[in-house]
């Protein structure tokens, strides 16, 4: 494995174990087994490492959601699939990355940062599209704002990073089912029984 890739892999492990905010360049260097200064030969800093880690993951998530949006499914099925895909590809550091992206130390002219932001913008727009489609076709409540609902659902999914323990009592499958039920029951039109 080349050194650059090794740094990215070890940094990912440290970020997941300690959290992004609690990880220093020294921590990453120690995990790789090199001096901190050696990392700067490959990366300008922690922010660049984060971008290198998250951009491929974010692209893959966007690609998966595009497939769901274009699939021949009802909006309810699409919403359930979107929640499932998001949570199955769940990375505990997504929320920390969002916070890290707001840091003034990040190079705002960084091409990878621009691409990451654009990827997330497109990803959010696809969630809005699913909700809006459900409203147009009569499956979801028309009197709610599609963007607010979509971003609320994404926030709910991303907050998992604050409490979910893969080794805990609640499985990711159970969370997917519960979140999907909560979302669909919350924005779906009530079923009237005769």
Per-residue model confidence (pLDDT) at position 92: 55
Closest to 105 in 3D by CA, of 44, 29, 188: 44
CB 164 within 8 A of CB 175: yes
**Global pTM?**
0.79
Condensed to tens digits (0 to 9), the pLDDT of residues 111-130 reads 877 888 899 999 999 999 99
| Interatomic CA distance for residues 174 and 27, integer angstroms | 34
> What domains are there in the chain, each with its CATH number?
1-43 (1.10.10.60), 45-193 (1.10.357.10)
Q: Show the tokens assigned to 10.
A: 């070890």
Condensed to tens digits (0 to 9), the pLDDT of residues 77-95 reads 999 999 999 988 865 555 4
Higher pLDDT, 165 or 76: 76
Per-residue model confidence (pLDDT) at position 193: 46
**Total residue count of the chain as it appears in this document:** 194
Burial class of residue 110 in the structure, from the number of CB atoms within 10 Å of its CB (0-12 exposed, 13-18 middle, 19+ buried): middle
């Amino acid at each position: 494995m080349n050194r650059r890739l090794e740094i990215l892999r070890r940094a990912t492990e440290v970020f997941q174990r300690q959290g992004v905010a609690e990880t220093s360049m020294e921590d990453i260097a120690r995990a790789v087994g090199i001096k901190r200064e050696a990392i700067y030969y490959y990366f300008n800093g922690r922010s660049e490492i984060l971008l290198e880690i998250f951009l491929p993951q974010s692209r893959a998530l966007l690609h998966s959601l595009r497939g769901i949006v274009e699939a021949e499914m009802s909006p309810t099925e699409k919403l359930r699939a979107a929640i499932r895909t998001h949570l199955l590809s769940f990375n505990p550091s997504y929320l920390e990355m969002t916070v890290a992206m707001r840091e003034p130390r990040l190079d705002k002219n960084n091409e990878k940062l621009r691409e990451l932001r654009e990827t997330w913008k497109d990803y959010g727009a696809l969630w809005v599209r699913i909700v809006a489609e459900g409203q147009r076709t009569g499956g979801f409540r028309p009197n709610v704002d599609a963007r607010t609902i979509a971003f609320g659902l994404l926030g709910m999914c991303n907050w998992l990073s604050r409490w979910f323990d893969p080794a805990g009592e609640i499985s990711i499958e159970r969370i997917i089912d519960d979140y999907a039920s909560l979302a669909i029951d919350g924005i779906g039109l009530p079923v009237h029984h005769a």
